[in-house]
Amino acid sequence: MAHIRFVSTMGTAPWGGSEELWAGAALKLLARGHRVTVHVLAWPEDPPKIRELENAGARIVRRPRQARLPLWRRALLRAAGRPAASRVFAASDRAHTDLVVISQGESFDGIPVVDDCTRRGWPYAPLAQSNAEIFWPSDVDADHLRSCYRNARQSFFVSRNNWRLLCDQLAIDVAHEIVSNPFTVPFDSALAPRPADGVLRLACVARLDPVAKGQDILLEVLAKPKWRERPLRVDFYGSGRCERLVRALAERRGVANLAFHGQVDDIVDVWRGHDALVLPSRMEGTPLALIEAMLCSRTAIVTDVGGNCELVEDGISGFVAKGANPEALDEAMERAWERRQELALLGSAARSRVVAVVPADPTADFADCLERLLSSPRRGLSSEAANGTLAGIAHRQPPGPGRP
């Protein structure tokens, strides 16, 4: 059996949706007899899934938190010859390691981990959850980042769109495999439509963090006179580093037809009481909230970022805003309003779409991917990669329209 390390770069909160895939796969690998070590930041209290991993036999290494720049930014500064990021693994930790899986919030978060793996000769596999067009490296940074991705055993992405963007950001083709994020609702969570009461009820299920989730965009739209006057209700579910700020912004803009409910456990119950998801994100992977809404037979209004359009077919299973800005979101919401009598049909189409694309057990699928990787020959650099032109493209792609 192999020794697999999982390193999370999650630094803004003890837990988030980006953590579910690696943690679920780690539990599966433990159950299959593998040795698992988990590296996370230390928090005053461990998240429940970390306790579950420890109880299942995983070794948990908690490294100190530092109130400094995000990991990805520290890595780029180091790559440019400025102060280096601290090492991730303890100097005394020399245990044989077959693979290090690096769970990244964005596509550059794990570079300090890659550097530490390289110093030790440990094979590594980045898992990128999100990406955004604002993350463009300098020439010097890009040289280092290309090397990091080229020398990986494999790179995993939860969105084809984010993989394509990374290839542009580095001006190479990155060898990759697409994997799916898991979900917290049963796969057979089809719900009947919400009983009509003359009010369109939308739920925004996302951490309260406008830089990624764009709640400010939605509040600007809701402040328009037409949305104030219509029978519309928007409920916000989630917590986050900007919770007080988002509440204050709603009050500042005078938006009254909304409510904040914080973090909730029963997502199926949320969808029993709502007609559609609205997700005004500026950056995404493939959001768990979107998968869960579609599994519960609810349509969605989303922005064209990350993997949203790999699930939502505009006008068929949902509504896509062409940009993460108030004008585009307003246009998509207007189309949903005009077709509000058809939302149950779109919700049914959304469920059919998601069950055709997303596996019933994504964490087991990811664990299978890692076991195949462990049993395959270690990939060396091709001559094209060494010359800076190509790192190869892996085979697996999800069905669906996506962008060509």
Helix/strand/coil for 207? coil
Residue 399 lies in a domain: no
* Number of structural domains the chain divides into: 2
Are residue 253 and residue 145 in the same domain, yes or no? no
Are residue 249 and residue 154 in the same domain, yes or no? no
124-128, strands of its sheet edge to edge: 59-63, 35-41, 3-8, 99-104, 124-128, 156-157, 177-178
Are residue 225 and residue 92 in the same domain, yes or no? no
pLDDT at 140: 85
The arithmetic mean of pLDDT across residues 70-81, rounded, is: 50
pLDDT at 253: 97
- Determine the number of helices (DSSP H) and then strands (DSSP E) in the chain: 17, 13
Enclosing domain of residue 96? 3-182+361-386
pLDDT at 204 over 70: yes
- Tokens 């209290």 belong to which residue? 45
- Residue-wise pLDDT for 234-290, tens only, equals 999 999 999 999 999 999 999 999 999 999 999 999 999 999 999 999 999 999 999
Cα–Cα distance measured from residue 319 to residue 6, given in angstroms and rounded to the nearest whole number: 36
pLDDT band at 17 (very low <50, low <70, confident <90, very high): confident
pLDDT band at 376 (very low <50, low <70, confident <90, very high): confident
Structure tokens at 180: 């799916």
Please count the CA atoms within 13 angstroms of the CA of 258 that sit on its side-chain side: 29
pLDDT at 64: 86
Are residue 100 and residue 13 in the same domain, yes or no? yes
Percent of the chain past pLDDT 90, that is, above it, reads 78
- Tokens 């009461």 belong to which residue? 197
Q: Which residues contact 2 (CB under 8 A, 6 or more apart)?
A: 34, 35, 98, 99, 374
- Residue-wise pLDDT for 160-172, tens only, equals 999 999 999 999 9
pLDDT at 225 over 50: yes
pLDDT band at 404 (very low <50, low <70, confident <90, very high): very low
Give the domain CATH number at 107: 3.40.50.2000
Q: Which of 83, 70, 50, 53 lies closest to 9 in space, CA to CA?
A: 70
Are residue 122 and residue 246 in the same domain, yes or no? no
pLDDT at 74: 53
pLDDT at 70: 54
Q: Which residues contact 141 (CB under 8 A, 6 or more apart)?
A: 76, 79, 80
Where does 121-242 have alpha helices with state H?
139-150, 160-170, 210-213, 215-222, 225-229
pLDDT at 86: 52
Residue 371 lies in a domain: yes
Give the mean pLDDT of the chain: 89
